[in-house]
Structure 1
């Protein structure tokens, strides 16, 4: 038999075998336990996701419920103008970031914002009140984009991932998001839960969710 014919028959056989092979199983969808609005899943809820990258991405997506909440993004603007309220309106009276993220010299953030909420005046406050650096602007960005920023020392205040965990779990200005004072919706869950999710994300390898993913 000619070599060409042998190759042809072999190719037909391989094609037939491929057609007869059972289709590969699609990945089984992960069913996470439901949580009420305004709450967070615990890291243990993601234990069934065996792939580390997939689990890390899902953990960060859960944590992004906090990162995308008005209590966070209002202080992470891209244009130097803080936002207010749950609707994210521009700060009134008009203010700007200034050179040190603490407002202009004539009207610094701490001119009005004290180390605690002033509920009678309806002015929020916490220790060290200021805007996040422009490198960490989150307003209007996706969880994937925020995740990349959080991991990048050039855009996260030169922090290690361990320092990011510490900042998330214990920083006093971050803590304000769960005790925002008069008429403001608190961030989902608690600071302890948020810190635990960030810690679990780091321990799983700190992979980021895909660009299209939303919490």
Structure 2
């Protein structure tokens, strides 16, 4: 075989191998399968997901990126699966100390309301976190122990998301001050990845691409 034909054959084989490595509509198992790595304290931009041609798969991938914030302890600690919040930065889910309970309106019980200690801003000397409207998320909004898909389905369900539309979910995540505390936790606490502005843009891009939920097995 002539060298030029051999070279041409090799190029065809190489292109075929690359093109078959992943189909455009193939479900995403992990974001690292299709996107460049990102530091744990950063979020990818919505534009980075343009490499995923299929809009449905892009939407699922965008939610996986958003779940890096939603399931981070700064957010999930106040979305517990029981009556008490968690604290700390690890995934060992340490119970809130001193012991507290959510109460009838998710704001504590009489004599030990959340705002008895948590003010509308961080109290740095006492190392007590704070933001406006400090409270637990309702029980039906529990995220601890949930998969990204389960959280996604919950966020779209008006019976479990506080009656919000998708547009209101975008607004809530992009501008709510209590949500924003996750990036300004104070007292040496580990903030959520990225910024609230970037997170809001990711949630908006997820909605714009159809608000699709990833598979049960998919992970960020």
TM-score interval, smaller chain? 0.7 to 0.9
Tell me the residue number matched to 1:159.
164
Structure of higher CA gyration radius? 1
The SS at the match of 1:47 is helix
- C-alpha distance in structure 2 between counterparts of 1:31 and 1:108, whole Å: 46
83-92 or 93-102, larger mean C-alpha shift: 83-92
TM superposition score normalised by structure 2:
0.84
Long gaps (5+) in structure 2: 1-19, 27-32
Compute the displacement of 1:34 (Å): 2.2
Counterpart selection for 2:104 from 88, 99, 107: 99
Tell whether 2:126 aligns with 1:130: no
Tell whether 2:60 aligns with 1:57: yes
Long gaps (5+) in structure 1: 1-24
TM superposition score normalised by structure 1:
0.86
Spell out, residue by residue over 1:86-133, the C-alpha distance to the aligned partner (whole angstroms, 9 max, x if none): 132101110000000000112000000000000100100000000001
Tell whether 2:32 aligns with 1:41: no
Counterpart selection for 1:69 from 69, 72, 75: 72
**Count of residues paired in the alignment:** 192
Compute the displacement of 1:49 (Å): 1.2
Tell me the residue number matched to 1:80.
83
Counterpart selection for 1:147 from 133, 146, 152: 152
